[in-house]
Structure 1
Amino acid sequence: MAITSRDVARLAGVSQPTVSRALRDDPRVSEATKAKVRAAAEQLGYVPSEAGRALSSGRTRRIGLLITDIENQFYTHIIAPVHLQLERLGYQLMLHTETADNDTIVERLIANGLDGVILATTTVDSVVPLRLRDHGLPFVYFNRTTSFVDADATVVEPTAGFEAAVSRAVALGHTRIGAVLGPSNTSTAQSREVALRAALATNGLSLSPDDIRRGPFDTRTGDEATTSLLSQPSPPTLLFCANDVVAYGALNAASRRGVSVPGDLSIVGFDDLPAASWPIIELSTIAYDLTAMAGEAARLITRRIEQPDASVLHVEYETSFVERRTLSSAPLSD
Structure 2
Amino acid sequence: MVVTSRDVARLAGVSQPTVSRALRDDARVSEDTKKRVREAAQLLGYVPSEAGRALSSGRTRRIGLLVTDLDNQFYSHIIAPVHRELERLGYQLMLHTETADNETVAERLAANGLDGVLLATATVDSIAPLRLRDRGMPFVYFNRIGSLVGADAAVVDPAAGYQDAVDRIAELGHTRVGAVLGPANTSTAQMREAALRAALTARGLVLAESCVRRAPYGAIEGEAAAAELLAGDEPPTVLFCGNDVVAYGALNAARRAGLSVPGDVSIIGFDDLPEASWPIVDLTTIGYDITGMARAAADLIVRRIEHPDAERSEITFASSFVPRSTVAAPRPR
Q: Give the TM-score normalised by the residue count of structure 1.
A: 0.95
SS of structure 2 residue aligned to 1:259:
coil
Superposed CA RMSD in Å reads 1.6
C-alpha spacing 1:235/1:29, structure 2 compared with 1 (3 Å): farther
Structure 2 alignment gaps of length 5 or more: none
Aligned residue pair count: 333
Q: How does 1:1-334 map to 2 (within 5 A)?
A: 1-26=1-26, 31-332=31-332, 334=333
C-alpha spacing 1:126/1:201, structure 2 compared with 1 (3 Å): same
Any conservation in 1 of the 2:103–2:131 contact (CA below 8 Å)?
Answer: no
Between 1:104-113 and 1:307-316, the stretch displaced more is: 104-113
Q: d(CA) in 1 for partners of 2:26 and 2:174?
A: 52
Any conservation in 1 of the 2:272–2:288 contact (CA below 8 Å)?
Answer: yes
SS of structure 2 residue aligned to 1:117:
strand
Name the aligned partner's letter for residue 39 of structure 1. E
User: How much identity, in percent, do the aligned residues show?
Assistant: 69
Q: d(CA) in 1 for partners of 2:237 and 2:188?
A: 24
Q: d(CA) in 2 for partners of 1:234 and 1:30?
A: 69
Q: Displacement of 1:106 after TM fit?
A: 1.2
User: Deviation per CA, 1:9-42, whole angstroms, max 9, x where unpaired?
Assistant: 3433445444334323446655544333221211
Any conservation in 2 of the 1:69–1:121 contact (CA below 8 Å)?
Answer: no
Structure 1 alignment gaps of length 5 or more: none
Q: d(CA) in 1 for partners of 2:68 and 2:255?
A: 30
Q: d(CA) in 2 for partners of 1:313 and 1:270?
A: 25
C-alpha spacing 1:206/1:13, structure 2 compared with 1 (3 Å): farther
Any conservation in 1 of the 2:183–2:216 contact (CA below 8 Å)?
Answer: yes
Q: Displacement of 1:309 after TM fit?
A: 0.6
Q: Displacement of 1:281 after TM fit?
A: 0.2
Name the aligned partner's letter for residue 257 of structure 2. R
Q: d(CA) in 1 for partners of 2:317 and 2:274?
A: 18
SS of structure 2 residue aligned to 1:270:
coil
Q: Displacement of 1:5 after TM fit?
A: 2.4
Name the aligned partner's letter for residue 132 of structure 2. L
User: Deviation per CA, 1:102-160, whole angstroms, max 9, x where unpaired?
Assistant: 22211111111111111110001110000100000111110000121111110001011
Any conservation in 2 of the 1:25–1:88 contact (CA below 8 Å)?
Answer: no
Any conservation in 2 of the 1:158–1:319 contact (CA below 8 Å)?
Answer: yes
